[in-house]
């Protein structure tokens, strides 16, 4: 149920909505230079007012107005991670606009109006126009205009982030935030500094890198039921290492539903179903038989299928072997590991449910019980398994809860 990856069709310049960025600027000959001044005043040799003593008083010339850019005079293409900053001396900035066909670059004037600093980063392969209106000490306004072009980036030089949960999704209390990149990130710290997760009510949490292409965030404890969560992956034009830059910033809002926690005991072959701390039902189940032991630990529902074909070859059991199977219509199936463990209806094993473990690792129950559980469950609901000596791992599904918070946080690039 991962999010569809967006990639532009071209391998040269790309067109996309204008997002947060930063850069300095290349200046046109008639535009802002490293230091330009405006010295308009009384012409040389002009007469001033006549004083009572008959001497000529020279008119006071206004202070020279200088409008400067943050990079001076350069004619090469501007890297997308450079910051645009315009400053004025001998006067103040009245307004600054920096724009391209993709849109305007956000920025702010300083409190004393002596400088303007971009709060956005630039798009690659784009033409920008800078227009600065400044006011001299004598009140006269002067306009300076310049143009610059940013460096082109191919798709191979950009990494796009996919985010789970999806925007507007309601998930269970065990759901991690998952960000996956289509081009590896080698400067993890640079990217992580520009990603954040905020929740209401507030809950502490941390990032955890599983690889150069996948990073998760989880709260210290399970999400509080009813939380509203916002994810900001503000990586557009941020260096990702090795000449790679973030391709597009992402913002995702999602909600956390009721606290569903299902407790499976592989010794007693029972599942206790809790919602918001209240025991709703206890269901007879069966788990993995010897040689196919179900993993113990904390699992999270990854995806749901009202009907799914299950073939033993997908989990390494060859066709024709004594344990081979190929079931076309397994009902009410909910995946809890990438390696193939599901909770599902198993009408063929009802006689063993509640007393024996006869599955190939899945958690089987009656069709009626599976339908009831399926109807109330959602992605991110927690299933806690005990009773076996085979441990769950962090990377076999949403296994984020199978490490202490301190150990989990140690895999943050900023820890």
CA distance 313 to 95: 66
Q: Is the pLDDT of residue 410 over 50?
A: yes
Exposed / middle / buried, residue 287 (Cβ in 10 Å: 0-12, 13-18, 19+): buried
Q: Is the pLDDT of residue 9 over 50?
A: no
Same domain, 235 and 188: yes
**What CATH number is given to the structural domain containing 325?**
2.40.440.10
Residue 391 counted as domain residue:
no
Same domain, 378 and 283: yes
| pTM for this model (two decimals) | 0.82
**What CATH number is given to the structural domain containing 186?**
2.60.40.3710
Q: Is the pLDDT of residue 62 over 70?
A: no
Q: Are strands 260-265 and 239-241 parallel, antiparallel or unpaired?
A: unpaired
Residue 364 counted as domain residue:
yes
Same domain, 144 and 165: no
Give the pLDDT score at 337: 98
Q: For residue range 305-322, list pLDDT tens digits in order.
A: 999 999 999 999 999 999
The residue among 152, 181, 202 that closes a domain is 152
Same domain, 292 and 370: yes
Give the pLDDT score at 102: 83
Does 35 qualify as catalytic in the annotation? no
Exposed / middle / buried, residue 243 (Cβ in 10 Å: 0-12, 13-18, 19+): exposed
Same domain, 33 and 135: yes
Exposed / middle / buried, residue 326 (Cβ in 10 Å: 0-12, 13-18, 19+): exposed
Contact 337, 352 (CB under 8 A): no
Contact 148, 26 (CB under 8 A): yes
Instruction: Of 70, 51, 68, give the one whose Cα is nearest residue 59.
Output: 51
Give me the domain span that covers residue 72: 17-40+61-152
Confidence of residue 352 (pLDDT cuts 50, 70, 90): very high
The residue among 256, 291, 314 that closes a domain is 256
Same domain, 147 and 35: yes
- Share the mean pLDDT of the chain: 87
CA distance 153 to 78: 12
Give the pLDDT score at 35: 41
Confidence of residue 375 (pLDDT cuts 50, 70, 90): very high
Mean pLDDT over 231-257 rounds to 97
What is the side-by-side order of every strand in the sheet holding 278-284?
A: 278-284, 270-275, 260-265, 382-386, 297-300
Residue 160 counted as domain residue:
yes
Place of tokens 């947060």: 20
Residue 392 counted as domain residue:
no
**How many separate domains does the chain show?**
3
Give the pLDDT score at 355: 98
Instruction: Of 164, 343, 382, 125, give the one whose Cα is nearest residue 260.
Output: 382
Q: For residue range 294-307, list pLDDT tens digits in order.
A: 999 999 999 999 99
Contact 402, 296 (CB under 8 A): no
Same domain, 36 and 121: yes
**Residue 20 CB coordination number (10 Å):** 20
Q: Is the pLDDT of residue 156 over 50?
A: yes
Residue 408 counted as domain residue:
no
**What CATH number is given to the structural domain containing 137?**
2.60.40.3780
Residue 414 counted as domain residue:
no
Same domain, 206 and 303: no
Give the pLDDT score at 7: 43
Share of the chain above pLDDT 90, in %: 77
Cite the DSSP H helix spans in 59-137.
none
Residue 371 counted as domain residue:
yes
Q: Is the pLDDT of residue 388 over 80?
A: yes
Residue 399 counted as domain residue:
no
Instruction: Of 182, 179, 138, 126, give the one whose Cα is nearest residue 159.
Output: 182
Give the pLDDT score at 47: 37
CA distance 164 to 302: 11
Contact 104, 116 (CB under 8 A): no
Share of the chain above pLDDT 70, in %: 84
The b/e string for 377-386 (b: 16+ C-beta within 10 A; e otherwise) is bbbbbbbbbe
Same domain, 23 and 91: yes
Among 36-50, 54-68, 225-239, 323-337, the least confident range: 36-50
Q: For residue range 157-178, list pLDDT tens digits in order.
A: 999 999 999 999 999 999 999 9
Does 362 qualify as catalytic in the annotation? yes
Which is more confident, 337 or 63?
337
Q: For residue range 251-266, list pLDDT tens digits in order.
A: 999 999 999 999 999 9
The residue among 134, 152, 170 that closes a domain is 152
CA distance 19 to 236: 7
Same domain, 172 and 252: yes
Same domain, 147 and 21: yes
Same domain, 192 and 144: no
Confidence of residue 65 (pLDDT cuts 50, 70, 90): confident
Q: Is the pLDDT of residue 1 over 50?
A: no
Give the pLDDT score at 55: 47
């Amino acid at each position: 149920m991962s999010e569809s990856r967006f990639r532009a069709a071209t391998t040269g310049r790309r067109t996309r909505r204008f997002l947060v960025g930063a850069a300095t600027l290349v200046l046109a000959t008639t535009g802002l230079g490293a230091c330009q001044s405006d010295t308009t005043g009384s012409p040389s040799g002009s007469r001033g007012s006549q004083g009572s003593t008959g001497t000529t008083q020279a008119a006071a010339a206004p202070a020279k107005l200088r409008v400067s850019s943050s990079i001076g005079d350069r004619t090469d293409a501007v890297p997308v991670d450079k910051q645009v900053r315009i400053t004025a001396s001998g006067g103040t900035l009245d307004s600054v606009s920096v724009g391209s066909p993709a849109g305007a670059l956000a920025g702010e004037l300083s409190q004393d109006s002596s400088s303007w600093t971009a709060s956005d980063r630039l798009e690659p392969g784009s033409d920008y126009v800078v227009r600065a209106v400044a006011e001299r000490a004598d009140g006269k306004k002067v306009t300076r205009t310049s143009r610059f072009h940013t460096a082109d980036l191919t798709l191979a030089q950009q990494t796009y982030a996919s985010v789970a949960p999806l925007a507007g999704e309601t998930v269970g209390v065990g759901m991690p935030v998952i960000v996956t990149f289509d081009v590896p990130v080698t400067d993890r710290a640079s990217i992580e500094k520009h990603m954040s997760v905020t929740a209401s009510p507030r809950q502490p949490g941390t990032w955890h890198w599983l690889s150069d292409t996948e990073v998760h965030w989880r709260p210290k404890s399970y999400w509080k039921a009813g939380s509203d969560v916002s994810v900001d992956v503000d990586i557009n034009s941020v260096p990702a290492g090795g000449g790679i830059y973030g391709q597009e910033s992402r913002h995702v809002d999602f909600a956390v539903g009721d606290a569903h926690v299902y407790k499976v005991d592989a010794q007693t072959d029972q599942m206790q179903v809790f919602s918001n701390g209240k025991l709703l039902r206890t269901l007879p189940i069966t788990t993995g038989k010897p040689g196919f032991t179900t993993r113990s630990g904390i699992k999270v529902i990854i995806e749901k299928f009202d009907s799914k074909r299950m073939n033993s070859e997908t989990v390494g059991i060859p066709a024709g072997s004594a344990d081979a199977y190929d079931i076309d219509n397994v009902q009410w199936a909910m995946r809890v590991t990438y390696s193939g463990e599901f909770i599902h209806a198993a009408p063929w094993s009802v006689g063993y449910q509640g007393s024996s473990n006869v599955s190939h690792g899945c958690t089987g129950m009656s069709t009626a019980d599976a339908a009831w559980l399926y109807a109330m469950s959602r992605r991110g609901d927690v299933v806690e398994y005990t009773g076996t000596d085979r441990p769950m791992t962090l990377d076999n599904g949403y296994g984020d809860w199978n490490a202490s918070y301190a150990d989990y946080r140690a895999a943050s690039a900023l820890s």
